[in-house]
Structure 1
Amino acid sequence: MPVITRDQARHTVTPAGAMTTLASPTLGNAASALWRVRMAPHAAGPEHRIDVEQIWTVLDGGAEIALGTEKVTLTPGDTAVLPADVPRQITAGQWGLTAVAVAPAGARAFRAGEAQGVVPPWIA
């Protein structure tokens, strides 16, 4: 049974926030990726889509998720199941955002207008 200690977690910083990989195919040989997201107040990720379903649970703060034509606000304890291939943008609330997210291994992200996606480093 692989155990990933906190000092083995992988940290990735982007303009929108910081992701900490807790488990993934390259970290614990997991079939899914699990990561923690931290975003500053009102920080916004880029508009993009993911080719697989993702599940996000808010631990602290909050977020607004624009998913296609729908917008939802999440607060601590709320979980959103984001379907594959729907354009999305996540914006942290006024207190910032701390969340955990999970996706299957190999998930690819596509920015608006991009035909070729990438596997984000926190999912690899």
Structure 2
Amino acid sequence: MQVVRSGEVRRTETPNAVMTTFASPSLGGAGHALWQVEMRPGASGPDHAMDVEQIWRAVAGGATVHLDGADDVPLAPGDTVVLPAGVVRRIVADADAGFTAVVTGAGGAHALVAGAEPVVPAWIA
């Protein structure tokens, strides 16, 4: 058993969001990653796919999920969305409220962006 104390969590900031990692292969040795995403009002993540499924649980604010080949899906606190592997997605925070979610997926998963090499994001490494 591994315990990750509150002072040991890892914070990663990008132009789009702040991710706080609670557990991952390099933080607690977990096979899965668990992190929180906080997006400022109107912030938008990049168009990308992941090579594994992810589960997002909205906890505050709201967002719209743009999933390639599907209708846009609004998220409100309490909503959970399962994002499939290999499908391009983009998360856009509400313009007024921003967005906070808790997310889980396989640790060490790769983000796939058109024209770039696959990369393991720091918050799930």
TM-score (norm 2): 0.95
1:48 — aligned with what? 48
2:110 — aligned with what? 108
Give the unaligned 5+ runs of structure 2: none
1:4 — aligned with what? 4
1:99 — aligned with what? 101
Cα displacement (A) at 1:5: 1.1
Paired residues for 1:10-29 under 5 Å: 10-29=10-29
CA contact 1:11–1:20 (8 Å) conserved in 2 = yes
CA contact 1:49–1:112 (8 Å) conserved in 2 = no
Corresponding pairs, count:
123
Give the unaligned 5+ runs of structure 1: none
Letter paired with 2:93: A
SS of the aligned residue for 1:122 comes to helix
Cα displacement (A) at 1:106: 1.5
Identity across matched positions, percent: 52
TM-score (norm 1): 0.96
CA contact 1:51–1:85 (8 Å) conserved in 2 = yes
Distance 2:61 2:69 in 1: 23
| Higher strand residue share | 1
1:4-59: per-residue Cα shift (whole Å, max 9, x none)? 11110000000001000000001011010000000000100110010000000000
CA contact 1:43–1:92 (8 Å) conserved in 2 = yes
1:88 — aligned with what? 89
Letter paired with 1:107: A
SS of the aligned residue for 1:66 comes to strand
SS of the aligned residue for 2:98 comes to strand
Letter paired with 1:96: G
Q: Is 1:117 aligned with 2:118?
A: yes
The structure 1 segments of at least 4 consecutive aligned residues displaced by more than 4 Å after TM superposition are: none
